[in-house]
Amino acid sequence: MTTIRSFMTDDHRRCDDFFAEAEQAIGKKNIAAARAAFEHFQSSVLAHFECEEKTLFPTFEAKTGMTMGPTQVMRMEHQQMRDLLDDARNAIESGDMDDYLGLAETLLIMMQQHNMKEENILYPMCDQHLSAELPAVLERLEMELRDE
């Protein structure tokens, strides 16, 4: 059976793959491919954040009453990563690969730490507290990510 943890973790990996494509293109000095891959990565990550903030987090908060706990931390980290994504996109668009690589390294570390918290703490909590709503929540998440 699909769980929130397995579904959202799979989406983390999908986003990671797009990030790796951008890194590989930069390594090959293929700036056009790097820009395209980064754009795909950024839109995938933003769609992931949006479905969490629009569907998963509010559903979890309504069920548990926890509004200042892990979901608040995740929203704060999402905003920090949105800012880094914008900066990295600007660097790659302007052709400043040194700036991009520094921002990408920071973003990678932040994403890894963030994903570990979601995958090992928040998603299992969601699966536990939203077991009755699981099919409906998963269906909404799938729809939102498919539209991305």
Domain boundaries, given as residue ranges, for the chain:
4-146
DSSP 74: H
Average pLDDT in the 5-20 region?
97
Cα–Cα distance, 40 to 18 (Å, whole number): 7
Q: Give me 128's structure tokens.
A: 């536990």
4-146: what CATH class? mainly alpha
**HSE value, Cβ hemisphere, 13 Å, CA-based, for 40:** 16
State the helix-helix crossing angle for 97-117 and 70-94, rounded to 10 degrees.
Answer: 160
Identify the pLDDT of residue 148. Answer: 62
Beta-carbon neighbour count of residue 31 at 10 Å? 15
Cα–Cα distance, 122 to 19 (Å, whole number): 23
Categorize the per-residue pLDDT at 38 as very low, low, confident or very high, splitting at 50, 70 and 90: very high
- pLDDT above 90 coverage of the chain, percent: 91
Residue 111 has pLDDT above 80, yes or no: yes
pLDDT in tens, 74-106: 999 999 999 999 999 999 999 898 999 999 999
